[in-house]
A and B are shown apart, each in its own frame.
Chain A
Amino acid sequence: MYRDEILPGTLYLLVLKTLARPDKMHGYEIANSMQRTSEDVLQVEEGSLYPALQRMFIKGWVTTKWGTTAGNRRARYYQLTAAGRKQLAVERSQFECVIGAITLVIEAV
């Protein structure tokens, strides 16, 4: 199963971080990139990427642009906006806060 293998609520963070690299990406590339970077540990339900991307677009974190892929197919490319970068910092600090807390709990004697 591919479902629920990332921590709930971290999808935004992962997508934002993936898009933080200078090159624009389309959905499939984002999914693959996340999977690769995490050395195949993080496998999102790939479809769930799209509602997330859409919400991020509505919130103004990403911009979109139609372009062509290497295989000469039409695809929608996503790019981080300034607001998106700010959000990335926010999500990241929240995530670290939670992880720190969890670590404290599980390492407590």
Chain B
Amino acid sequence: MLVNRRQFDVDLEEEMHLHLELRQQDQIESGMSADDAQAAARRRFGNVTSLRERSNLAWGWEWLEHLTQDLRFGLRILSKNLVVTFVIVLTLALGVGANTAIFGLVNGILLQRLPVPAPEQIAALVIQSGESSLGALGFSYLQFVEFREQTATICEVFGSATAWRLNFTAEGHSDTLTIGGVSSNYFSALGVKPALGRLVLPGEGEHPGEPAVVVLSYAFWQKRFGGDPQVIGKPARVGGKTATIVGVMEKEFRGQFSVFEMDAYAPLSTAFDESSASNFWNSRDMHLMLVLARLKPGVTLAQAQSRFDVVSRRLAAQYPLTDKDLKVRVMDERLSRPIPYANNAFIMFSGLFLILGALVLLLACTNIANILMARASVRRREMALRAALGGARSRLLRQMLTETLLTALLGGIAGVTLGASLSYLASSTHLSNIPVRLGFGFDWRVFVYALIVVIFTAISAGLSPALHATRADVNTVLHQGGRADASGKARHKVRGDLMAAQVAGSLTLLIVAGLFVRSLRAVERMDIGFDPNQLLNVTLDPSVDNYTRIQTNEFYRSLETKVRTLPGIQSVSLAASVPMGNTLGNQSVYVEGRPVPSGQRAPGAFFNNVDPPYFDTLRIRIILGRAFTDADSETAPLVAIVNETMARRFWPGEDPLGKRFSLISDAGPFVEIVGVARDGKYRILAEDPQPYFYVPLTQHFTSQRTLQIRSSMLPELLAPLVQHEIKALDASDPVEEIQTMKESLGGTLGYFIFRLGASLAAAMGLLGLLLAIVGVYGVVSYAATQRTQELGVRMALGASPRQILALLLRQGAQLVAAGLLFGLVGAWALTRVMSHMLVGVSPSDPLTYLSVAALLSFITLLACWIPARRATRIDPMVALRYE
């Protein structure tokens, strides 16, 4: 049909022409002059152009024609205004880029389901515990087994306990891997397949002492073995056990956590060796397992929840000592990310940053709307002319929106590219002690999101200017000559509102950023109880060599001696755990002479096994009593050092020295307190003061220890020297990790999350500030240009430049003030969700609010002042002639 269209148009033209002529003839015959007859005929006929358009509409293809017309015209306009186009595209690229980067992260961490068959059936099980703000982390193995057996009718419960840093030696080379210790039904329940060999078989590896096997992750197999298929069946040492590599995991599956990547998987019996076995397999206090369940088809979360409630109550009755308050929540697996804490702050964190992203976008939109508004005034004449020639308003509107959309699409493409590279940058962030994997979430959702963002921008930024441009009354505009237009009050108001909104949005962004930064400062200034500078940590585990206890002790002793001879060494010590690094479990404390009432649990405390120089090396002050000495040997009386909080909480108002407590039972054996150490931070930086105690390594053996070295040398330079000494002592190189204390503190349990929050928020804040400055500057300088003639008149009538400046500034200042007011209210409302994300600063911290508001008002007023000042320099004569 389209083919005949051209002919049809010609025919229509001829037909209409004939009609006009015949009418004209008739009129002449009835006595009119030729001119009058022609005018009358035209009048009776109506607007030819618009009639022709209406006739075209009949075909139903007009949208396509219009679209191609609009696109062609749009491209022409865009290429004619390259600077404007560039500014719009750049602004939008920043807005869309920030948004897609954040959305990509959130998508990767929260929204994508596990890459397994029927992922919607997977639920996460978390233990709700009143004790800690995060909720308890996991299940004990015994609890896990009980739940698996007692809920088998409705779901299959499976789980894993991650060994974050396990030594893996193959082909004479060792690595420290993150290994998922998985229950025997883990892979069958998930439904994942091996890329090579086999996975852990049902029934395998849930009894300590079974033959050790290991399954490599695809990425590790590629990286370490170059994808060699011969790797199957090869031996490897995993955490001191000789294991067989039995398979390689399929590529898509990277572990059950969306953020942490597993290097390998092993059955529980391989991942947890016998020395810790008694605890892992038999203690109800070792909450190491993170548990998921595959619900049977048709089973809802609510049904599963009620089943788990029944089992929880049964267990609580059965084991009142440990499981009295047991409460298990069954939730959508995605809501339990990145780690199944009961009280997951990550969702709120992502929500906050999505809102910040939206604010940045809003600022970008406002700027674009401003530019388009200025352009719309220029194009009013064009639009009026086109309307006079028969262009329907809807058609003109559509055309202007097409132009905006085209620009927005360009900006969107640039933005997604920017966002993708930002995400890529974020994903290559290397974190020392945990294999964090970020920013792999670029899939269709991100593109759909970006597309929605772009269309939203185009419509929200483009509609009002387009409406404005096409609202033109043909007569008025065409009679105005070359003058841009008599700027309507209403439109000035719109621009003013936009400017105030920008200031408000920017202030909100900056306040959030300010709070995060202050929180980071507070955390960094926080007293962590020891001096992390100039410290090198070397974690070793000679159990790889099947050393006996005596050999292990001897190895460490000679290592310490050797390292002390290195240049610049001030102090060397050994400890089983590093603050904010690898921490040991909670230990029950039985105070002598104060038996635990039956049916109650003994209170717990965290602890560390250290040697005598430890307090010197970390510079932890002993405020009462003494530190450990060499006299506290294996055969000497058992001793301990407690921290201030423990002393205060367990022996309130008493002298803790000489008091005794047991780690085993009310009946002892007891350890005697010989000293009190200063409080510090032990597990996470944000923790409240915790009871904590130290016991001598000689009296409480561990194989894995961290050698801590304080030296006057840069710890980074010291590392290779220490490594050399270790190799000389033991060729198999039992080093698991070398890092400076500062690096270690930068990890996920340390400063990482605070730095991430602060830098993300600061980036958004700066972006927002930049957009606001551009916006304010743009509005004021446009207003000044629009008023050039008026200003010229005022100056000609004797207004001083100072008065002109005051006039322009007053207007700007009013808008800035209104913006600040709304921004303060908005920020206050938004930051209510931040109370759990901040440390050492309240979400309504007045200092942050006021200083940020002062800074922003200074900067925005400067952005007003520059164009206003320029306006005062104009020559009145030039201004009066200004068109």
How far apart sit A46 and B14, CA to CA, in the bound complex (Å)? 15
Given contacts A28-B23, A43-B44, A47-B51, 19 further A-B contacts (CB under 8 A): A2-B43, A2-B44, A26-B18, A27-B15, A27-B16, A27-B18, A45-B45, A47-B19, A47-B46, A47-B48, A50-B12, A50-B15, A50-B16, A50-B55, A51-B51, A51-B57, A69-B18, A74-B18, A76-B15
Q: Given A46-B44, A47-B46: A28 and B57 within 8 A (CB)?
A: no
Instruction: Answer yes or no: B54 CB below 8 A from chain A CBs.
Output: yes
How far apart sit A3 and B46, CA to CA, in the bound complex (Å)? 8
Instruction: Answer yes or no: A93 CB below 8 A from chain B CBs.
Output: no
Instruction: Answer yes or no: B59 CB below 8 A from chain A CBs.
Output: yes
A7 CB to closest chain B CB (Å) equals: 18
How far apart sit A46 and B55, CA to CA, in the bound complex (Å)? 13
Instruction: Answer yes or no: A88 CB below 8 A from chain B CBs.
Output: no
Instruction: Answer yes or no: A36 CB below 8 A from chain B CBs.
Output: no
Instruction: Answer yes or no: A54 CB below 8 A from chain B CBs.
Output: yes
Q: List 12 A-B residue pairs with CB atoms under 8 Å apart, sorted by A's residue number.
A: A2-B46, A26-B15, A28-B18, A47-B19, A47-B45, A48-B54, A50-B12, A50-B55, A51-B51, A54-B12, A54-B58, A76-B14
A-side contacts of B45, CB under 8 Å = 45-47
| Cβ-defined partner of B18 (8 Å) among A43, A54, A58, A75 | A75
Interface residues on A, range: 20 to 34
B-side contacts of A50, CB under 8 Å = 12, 15-16, 19, 51, 55
A-side contacts of B8, CB under 8 Å = 54
Instruction: Answer yes or no: B348 CB below 8 A from chain A CBs.
Output: no
Instruction: Answer yes or no: B527 CB below 8 A from chain A CBs.
Output: no
Pair B54/A51 contact, Cβ less than 8 Å: yes
A-side contacts of B15, CB under 8 Å = 26-27, 50, 75-76
How far apart sit A26 and B23, CA to CA, in the bound complex (Å)? 13
Instruction: Answer yes or no: B133 CB below 8 A from chain A CBs.
Output: no
Q: Interface 1/0s, chain B 42-65, versus A by CB < 8 A?
A: 011111100100110111000000
Give residues 3-43 of A contacting B (CB, 8 Å): 3, 26-28, 31, 43
B-side contacts of A26, CB under 8 Å = 15, 18
Q: Given A28-B23, A54-B12, A58-B58: A48 and B51 within 8 A (CB)?
A: yes
Instruction: Answer yes or no: A86 CB below 8 A from chain B CBs.
Output: no
Q: Given A73-B18, A74-B14: A46 and B58 within 8 A (CB)?
A: no
B619 CB to closest chain A CB (Å) equals: 91
How far apart sit A6 and B47, CA to CA, in the bound complex (Å)? 18
Q: Given A50-B15, A54-B55: A28 and B22 within 8 A (CB)?
A: yes
A-side contacts of B14, CB under 8 Å = 74, 76
Which 6 pairs, one residue from A and one from B, show the smallest C-beta to C-beta distance?
A: A47-B46, A51-B55, A51-B54, A55-B58, A47-B45, A47-B51
**Most chain A beta carbons < 10 A, residue from B8, B22, B23:** B22
Q: Interface 1/0s, chain A 51-73, versus B by CB < 8 A?
A: 10011001000000000010001
B-side contacts of A69, CB under 8 Å = 18
Of all chain B residues, the one with the shortest Cβ separation from A76 is B15
B-side contacts of A3, CB under 8 Å = 46
Instruction: Answer yes or no: B716 CB below 8 A from chain A CBs.
Output: no
Give residues 758-816 of B contacting A (CB, 8 Å): none
A22 CB to closest chain B CB (Å) equals: 22
A-side contacts of B11, CB under 8 Å = 76
Of all chain A residues, the one with the shortest Cβ separation from B50 is A47
Give residues 1-60 of B contacting A (CB, 8 Å): 8, 11-12, 14-16, 18-19, 22-23, 43-48, 51, 54-55, 57-59
Q: Given A2-B44, A54-B12: A46 and B19 within 8 A (CB)?
A: yes
Of all chain A residues, the one with the shortest Cβ separation from B51 is A47
Pair A47/B22 contact, Cβ less than 8 Å: no
How far apart sit A75 and B59, CA to CA, in the bound complex (Å)? 22
B-side contacts of A73, CB under 8 Å = 18
How far apart sit A73 and B25, CA to CA, in the bound complex (Å)? 13
B60 CB to closest chain A CB (Å) equals: 8
Give residues 716-767 of B contacting A (CB, 8 Å): none
How far apart sit A44 and B58, CA to CA, in the bound complex (Å)? 19
Pair B58/A45 contact, Cβ less than 8 Å: no
A46 CB to closest chain B CB (Å) equals: 5
Of all chain B residues, the one with the shortest Cβ separation from A55 is B58
Q: Given A2-B44, A45-B45, A51-B51: A28 and B58 within 8 A (CB)?
A: no
Of all chain B residues, the one with the shortest Cβ separation from A1 is B43
Of all chain A residues, the one with the shortest Cβ separation from B21 is A73
How far apart sit A51 and B8, CA to CA, in the bound complex (Å)? 12
Q: Interface 1/0s, chain B 123-156, versus A by CB < 8 A?
A: 0000000000000000000000000000000000
Pair A47/B16 contact, Cβ less than 8 Å: yes
Of all chain B residues, the one with the shortest Cβ separation from A30 is B19
A-side contacts of B44, CB under 8 Å = 2, 43, 45-46
Of all chain A residues, the one with the shortest Cβ separation from B26 is A32
Pair B47/A47 contact, Cβ less than 8 Å: yes
A52 CB to closest chain B CB (Å) equals: 9
How far apart sit A36 and B180, CA to CA, in the bound complex (Å)? 93
A-side contacts of B43, CB under 8 Å = 2
How far apart sit A50 and B53, CA to CA, in the bound complex (Å)? 11
Pair B46/A45 contact, Cβ less than 8 Å: yes
Pair A46/B54 contact, Cβ less than 8 Å: no
A31 CB to closest chain B CB (Å) equals: 7
B-side contacts of A28, CB under 8 Å = 18-19, 22-23
**Most chain A beta carbons < 10 A, residue from B15, B46, B47, B57:** B15
B-side contacts of A47, CB under 8 Å = 16, 19, 45-48, 51
Of all chain B residues, the one with the shortest Cβ separation from A56 is B58
Pair A27/B19 contact, Cβ less than 8 Å: yes
A-side contacts of B48, CB under 8 Å = 47
B-side contacts of A74, CB under 8 Å = 14, 18
How far apart sit A26 and B18, CA to CA, in the bound complex (Å)? 10
Give residues 482-511 of B contacting A (CB, 8 Å): none
How far apart sit A55 and B12, CA to CA, in the bound complex (Å)? 12
B297 CB to closest chain A CB (Å) equals: 53
How far apart sit A28 and B18, CA to CA, in the bound complex (Å)? 8
B36 CB to closest chain A CB (Å) equals: 16
How far apart sit A84 and B75, CA to CA, in the bound complex (Å)? 44
A-side contacts of B46, CB under 8 Å = 2-3, 45-48
A58 CB to closest chain B CB (Å) equals: 6
B25 CB to closest chain A CB (Å) equals: 8
Of all chain A residues, the one with the shortest Cβ separation from B53 is A51
A29 CB to closest chain B CB (Å) equals: 9
Pair A51/B19 contact, Cβ less than 8 Å: no
B-side contacts of A76, CB under 8 Å = 11, 14-15
How far apart sit A75 and B43, CA to CA, in the bound complex (Å)? 22
Of all chain A residues, the one with the shortest Cβ separation from B55 is A51
B-side contacts of A27, CB under 8 Å = 15-16, 18-19
B-side contacts of A48, CB under 8 Å = 46, 51, 54
How far apart sit A58 and B58, CA to CA, in the bound complex (Å)? 8
A36 CB to closest chain B CB (Å) equals: 12
A-side contacts of B16, CB under 8 Å = 27, 47, 50
| Cβ-defined partner of A58 (8 Å) among B12, B19, B51, B59 | B59
Pair A31/B19 contact, Cβ less than 8 Å: yes
B22 CB to closest chain A CB (Å) equals: 5
A19 CB to closest chain B CB (Å) equals: 15
Pair A51/B18 contact, Cβ less than 8 Å: no
Of all chain B residues, the one with the shortest Cβ separation from A29 is B22
A23 CB to closest chain B CB (Å) equals: 17
B740 CB to closest chain A CB (Å) equals: 80
**Most chain B beta carbons < 10 A, residue from A26, A43, A45, A50:** A50
A25 CB to closest chain B CB (Å) equals: 12
Of all chain A residues, the one with the shortest Cβ separation from B8 is A54
How far apart sit A46 and B59, CA to CA, in the bound complex (Å)? 21
A44 CB to closest chain B CB (Å) equals: 9
Pair A51/B47 contact, Cβ less than 8 Å: no
Of all chain B residues, the one with the shortest Cβ separation from A64 is B11
B398 CB to closest chain A CB (Å) equals: 19
A45 CB to closest chain B CB (Å) equals: 4
B-side contacts of A51, CB under 8 Å = 51, 54-55, 57-58
Q: Interface 1/0s, chain A 65-103, versus B by CB < 8 A?
A: 000010001111000000000000000000000000000
